[in-house]
Structure 1
Amino acid sequence: MTSSYDVIVVGGGHAGCEAAYAAATMGSQVLLITMNMQTIAQMSCNPAMGGVAKGQIVREIDALGGMSGIISDKTMIQFRMLNRSKGPAMWSPRCQSDRHAFAWEWRKTLENNNNVSFWQDSVNELLVKDNAVYGVKTMMGIVFHAKSVVLTNGTFLNGRMFIGEKTFGGGRTGEAAASGLTEQLVELGFESGRMKTGTPPRIDGRSLNYEAMEEQLGDTKPGKFSYSDTPALIEQKSCWITYTNQAVHDELKTGFEKSPMFTGRIKGLGPRYCPSVEDKINRFADKDRHQIFVEPEGKDTVEIYVNGFSTSLPEDVQLRALQKITGFERAKMFRPGYAVEYDYFPPTQLKHTLETHLIANLFFAGQINGTTGYEEAACQGLIAGINAHHTVCEKDPFTIKRSEGYIGVLIDDLITKGTEEPYRMFTSRAEYRTLLRQDNADIRLTEKGYKIGLASQQRYDALVEKQQKIAELTDAIQSKRVKPEGINDWLTTQNSSPLRETATLRTLVKRPEITAENVSELLAITLPDTTKFNEEVVEQTVIEIKYEDYLLREKQNADKLDRWENLSIGTEFDYDKLKALSFEGRDKLKRTRPSTIGQASRISGVSPSDISILLVYMGR
């Protein structure tokens, strides 16, 4: 058994898998330590990937060379592009996943990487010397040495589970909690806190009456996440929608006196945008019903995930309330929902690389940083894994700007603003969301992934070919002139004004009534050779033309603000020597240690006058 590695990754969840894969693919010898080899990449909550803003993150992971998109494509059982009725900046891919297949594909992927080794155990101590980590010690007393360590502990650090008045240690159903690390990190000077998350009960699908529910089909032409040549989804499974009602709410209220959330036994804050069902009916007492999504757990199982019914009430109350939902009258429960409370470390203690300020070569990724969601965890794991490898090789830090990706927005939000509740990504968090669309993640990020050795030559070559095709189609649309007699009949069918004189095809593409759905017809009529361009090229070309004025304006704004992003402060800057700084501003700057003026300007408590003082000092 080898005792020395380049990178040790602690935890085999979504963050840990991406961290291990990235560092190993780039050349590091990686040891992945997980408490249970059978639950690598386990989908602990809903069996789905993507969604609003989250789908953009998965595409960005894929563009950089990570694996979440490929594995999602291989194991999806339904695909939907959300928000198609809105602008392209809001389009968000989402898939329903086969829970077991997803985890198995991740394990195979890691096992097929010869630079990844595995060890089943729990890490309860870091080896630290001169404020730098050099290895770990496991519960079995085994010592492993490494040049860098990535902690992706999920909900397991001193995890405590709650079902009604019952409480027991654990980070996930059937799995023990991890202890020791929090206490050591606090001794080393880290600040810690508690957060809470939860999951709904799982139901026997054979006991449900689907005819009483609303069927939710996948897209007629299902898309995918990865820009690589992953298999197309052929056979899709349906999801279903139903609703709670007053009888359900009344039944749930009978268990409130035993609710760990209402009795105060849970201290940690839960995700505001994904509340438990008891919290929903308590906070939104004026609403007589709430939506319930009925989601299959896989292709070959009857197990059902009841999305929207997360709860920690007693199991008998859960079942009685479920059976009052339309379609659930004869529901059988496989296992009850529960809440889990766990330790996290406020992410203001990190650099943009996700390395800690206090301990060199130590990286945090995922729920340990106060986030929620597979996608948020996976992208942090990817960045931490890249930078753990770069630390080993003494290469420059790898970061993504807010103007370059949702991943950059997420990490910047975490380390400059912190979070007191589980952080979830939304499109509204990104000020440049028109630039950060799901369709152009490869153009934004694949070259960056290729340069660091993560994205393959094949991926880079595909990007170059795509850019050439976009340029070719753009030129064709801009130069093509369309006569009224050749297009007016079609324009009339689209409720679009007929042409009075010859016009460029570009002016027609920019018309608001020419949508993503009918633009292909327009191009087929006016440019018969468009068959050589695939749907992705056509879609992105049309978006760039249709929204070019907005995109240009947003790009100019991003460039202006990037000037501050390039003004380096240095993480060792002595703020105490600037007496004119406000007391609060100085304190926040010393705690967060921003590396640029741009990052400093986004820290809560740092005022515009504080930034002006910094700029004056720097001769700006």
Structure 2
Amino acid sequence: MFPIYDVIVVGAGHAGCEAAQAAAKMGSSVLLCTMNMNTIAQMSCNPAMGGVAKGQIVREIDALGGKSGIISDKSTIQFRMLNRSKGPAMWSPRSQNDRMRFAEEWRLALEATPNLDFWQEMITGLIVKDGRIKGVKTGLGIEIRSKSVVLTNGTFLNGIIHIGEKKMGGGRTGESASKGITEDLIEIGFESGRMKTGTPPRVDGRSLNYSLMEVQEGDENPEKFSYSDETTPIKNQRNCWITYTNKEVHETLETGFDRSPMFNGRIQGLGPRYCPSIEDKINRFAERERHQIFVEPEGWNTVEIYVNGFSTSLPEDVQYKAIRKIQGFENAKMFRPGYAIEYDFFPPTQLKLTLETKLVENLYFAGQINGTTGYEEAAAQGLMAGINAHNKVKEKEPFILKRSEAYIAVLIDDLINKGTEEPYRMFTSRAEFRLLLRQDNADLRLTPYGYKLGLANEKEYLQTLAKAEKTEELTKKLEKFRLSPDEANIGLEGLNTALIKEKITVEKLLKRPNIGLQDIINISDLLKEETIEYSNAVKEQTEILIKYKSYIDKERQMVEKISSMEDLQIPATIEYANMKALSAEGRQKLAKIQPQTVGQASRISGVSPADMSILTIYLGR
């Protein structure tokens, strides 16, 4: 009935979709297995993509040839660039999306991908022989053979949904949990744990009074995620709104705390620290009289509203009473209550940097099974797992990015070397080279890799080369182009900055705070003519490189210093137990994680600088 596939992907969420399309596009025969074809790429939680650091990840996925950026652009209803008031390392794109269109666009994209087949059924087990994956078993008892398997099970592995004192099996509201895979993995020898996440109630937008809320509009000149010409920036946008909880809301919620699964101990798994439930916020920040609530439409035409900031697992009657005490929600009608979901995950220290498991060859984990939270983190892992599963079965080199090259690398490196005891979420602060890993230069950093892998096409690659060339050309032009006092001072006075007394290069002027390249172009007709041929992306890139040159150079020097040891290989045969000079914890952690390079070893929690000195001496360095 089935051929022997190169890659089987289990789960069709954000990780599964990226893994399947990447492996298939690169030339592998792929089977994407899902329990429900109608929920492919479902936005289980908020209808949005990107945000702080997450937006950078979406851009990186796009630059490598993944689909999340394109799908997001096609389903965007509002676009904002966050943190514009801060430095460019912090700028983060975010889109509000039409939930139904997002899922539809992903399904259509997958169906249009050659080499990709689908199968709708629960996968209940794995076929493993002599430490190597051989395929999967289905609920109907079918065995489907493959050379590799990527598990992207999300919150479905033995998932339990909690609403107050009620609990039911499920991986998402209205969908059953997945059983069997966890048990197979534990029998093989994998270590597992439990985590939880939550979602807020959804309400009827027709029952809300928006006049009592603050309007949150999209950007005046919105951008987009994808660097490709396949999408264009959105022209008309939908508003979001902001409102707040209050003392009365908090008091009402507290009446249900004795029935909260979070407080009465029925939920064992740890929840996301940076996206806590409303009851957790009230408990942890008792001194605060109000918490922000983002009122987000679920699409262009639906009346369903996502109540961002009100995630809860309290009894539904308490949720209903409390939400109606929020300003603007006095007559709110609830579509469905919020809930918490508890699910199995597998500590990611059991993986290699390719996301292949150490215990079973050609078996890969991606997404929430690794302890992460968020669509973007999942999609990035799925893309990398799909690439590496393809490369492994085709006997090609593994694809591993460095921390200095991408947020995707920071994410995977953190997971593999440090593990996580709570749902991992990406932040700009996690990246030590975040000025190099900006959202504006993801194409320059990663599209050459995507092209080499066969994911980015030649047109995209040539566009990237042209952007780099034009940026260098404009930078050199601005280093030489000089403005005279007569030409510049009227404009500089209007910008509230010091006037010049002699000719000055644009480069030097651009290094002043609060002056942008476009400001300078606007005060010189000649400069306007000289720069008219350059795109906004090139101008932005040039401005950042000039304005922050000293900081960027400093980070690059740090990268060069670290990279001299980063790539030093550690033999797989090394016996840490025999290295008595290492600390006991160092020996234990190194033996467990089995780092492939000295750089990786240095980032393992519990491995001290003294341990690293001993290790490098042992390796002859």
TM-score, structure 1 length as denominator?
Answer: 0.99
> What letter corresponds to residue 434 of structure 2 in structure 1?
R
Q: Is the 8 A contact 2:521 2:527 kept in 1?
A: no
The yes-or-no answer on 1:278 pairing with 2:276 is: no
Q: Secondary structure at the match of 2:149?
A: strand
Q: Give the RMSD, CA atoms, in angstroms.
A: 1.0
How far the C-alpha of 1:109 sits from its partner, in A, is 0.4
Distance 1:268 1:476, change over 3 A: same
d(CA) in 1 for partners of 2:519, 2:532 = 15
Equivalent positions of 1:47-58 (< 5 A) are 47-58=47-58
d(CA) in 2 for partners of 1:517, 1:576 = 61
Please name the residue that 1:429 is paired with.
430
Q: Secondary structure at the match of 1:465?
A: helix
Please name the residue that 2:184 is paired with.
184
User: Residue by residue, what CA displacement relative to the aligned partner does 1:192-213 show, whole Å, maximum 9, x if unpaired?
Assistant: 0000000000000000000000
The yes-or-no answer on 1:521 pairing with 2:554 is: no
d(CA) in 1 for partners of 2:568, 2:530 = 48
> What letter corresponds to residue 614 of structure 1 in structure 2?
L
How far the C-alpha of 1:471 sits from its partner, in A, is 1.5
Please name the residue that 1:512 is paired with.
513
d(CA) in 2 for partners of 1:292, 1:608 = 45
d(CA) in 1 for partners of 2:407, 2:199 = 26
Please name the residue that 2:13 is paired with.
13
Equivalent positions of 1:208-223 (< 5 A) are 208-223=208-223
d(CA) in 2 for partners of 1:124, 1:523 = 68
Q: Is the 8 A contact 1:194 1:269 kept in 2?
A: yes
% identical equivalent positions = 66
How far the C-alpha of 1:452 sits from its partner, in A, is 1.3
Please list every run of 5 or more consecutive structure 2 residues that lacks an aligned counterpart in the other structure: none
How far the C-alpha of 1:529 sits from its partner, in A, is 3.0
Distance 1:611 1:470, change over 3 A: same
Q: Is the 8 A contact 1:61 1:67 kept in 2?
A: yes
Please name the residue that 1:383 is paired with.
384
d(CA) in 1 for partners of 2:526, 2:138 = 66
d(CA) in 1 for partners of 2:256, 2:558 = 52
Please name the residue that 1:44 is paired with.
44
> What letter corresponds to residue 170 of structure 2 in structure 1?
G
How far the C-alpha of 1:232 sits from its partner, in A, is 2.1
Q: Is the 8 A contact 1:569 1:597 kept in 2?
A: yes
d(CA) in 2 for partners of 1:468, 1:161 = 53
How far the C-alpha of 1:517 sits from its partner, in A, is 6.6
Please list every run of 5 or more consecutive structure 1 residues that lacks an aligned counterpart in the other structure: none
Equivalent residues, number: 620
The yes-or-no answer on 1:240 pairing with 2:241 is: yes
Q: Secondary structure at the match of 2:191?
A: coil
The yes-or-no answer on 1:469 pairing with 2:470 is: yes
> What letter corresponds to residue 578 of structure 1 in structure 2?
M
How far the C-alpha of 1:446 sits from its partner, in A, is 0.6
> What letter corresponds to residue 605 of structure 1 in structure 2?
G
Please name the residue that 1:322 is paired with.
323
User: Residue by residue, what CA displacement relative to the aligned partner does 1:240-298 show, whole Å, maximum 9, x if unpaired?
Assistant: 00000000000000110110000000000000000000000011000000000000000
Please name the residue that 2:204 is paired with.
204
Please name the residue that 1:34 is paired with.
34
How far the C-alpha of 1:21 sits from its partner, in A, is 0.6
The yes-or-no answer on 1:74 pairing with 2:69 is: no
Which one is further off, 529-538 or 368-377? 529-538
d(CA) in 2 for partners of 1:545, 1:320 = 55
The 4+ residue runs of structure 1 with deviation greater than 6 A are none
Please name the residue that 2:127 is paired with.
127
d(CA) in 2 for partners of 1:255, 1:552 = 55
User: Residue by residue, what CA displacement relative to the aligned partner does 1:478-497 show, whole Å, maximum 9, x if unpaired?
Assistant: 11111111111000000111
Q: Secondary structure at the match of 1:176?
A: coil
How far the C-alpha of 1:522 sits from its partner, in A, is 5.1
User: Residue by residue, what CA displacement relative to the aligned partner does 1:443-470 show, whole Å, maximum 9, x if unpaired?
Assistant: 1111011111111111101101111211
Please name the residue that 1:395 is paired with.
396
Q: Is the 8 A contact 1:495 1:513 kept in 2?
A: no
Distance 1:522 1:548, change over 3 A: farther
> What letter corresponds to residue 243 of structure 1 in structure 2?
Y
How far the C-alpha of 1:524 sits from its partner, in A, is 5.9
User: Residue by residue, what CA displacement relative to the aligned partner does 1:79-121 show, whole Å, maximum 9, x if unpaired?
Assistant: 0000000000000000000000000000000000121100001
Please name the residue that 2:586 is paired with.
585
d(CA) in 1 for partners of 2:26, 2:426 = 28
Q: Is the 8 A contact 1:60 1:407 kept in 2?
A: yes
Q: Is the 8 A contact 2:10 2:151 kept in 1?
A: yes
> What letter corresponds to residue 95 of structure 1 in structure 2?
S
d(CA) in 2 for partners of 1:522, 1:582 = 64
Please name the residue that 1:603 is paired with.
604
The yes-or-no answer on 1:97 pairing with 2:97 is: yes
Q: Secondary structure at the match of 1:147?
A: coil
Equivalent positions of 1:455-466 (< 5 A) are 455-466=456-467
> What letter corresponds to residue 111 of structure 1 in structure 2?
E
d(CA) in 1 for partners of 2:149, 2:459 = 30
Q: Secondary structure at the match of 1:334?
A: strand
Q: Is the 8 A contact 1:3 1:143 kept in 2?
A: no
d(CA) in 1 for partners of 2:252, 2:102 = 36
Distance 1:511 1:410, change over 3 A: same
d(CA) in 2 for partners of 1:36, 1:11 = 9
Please name the residue that 2:348 is paired with.
347
TM-score, structure 2 length as denominator?
Answer: 0.99
Q: Secondary structure at the match of 2:5?
A: strand
Equivalent positions of 1:145-160 (< 5 A) are 145-160=145-160
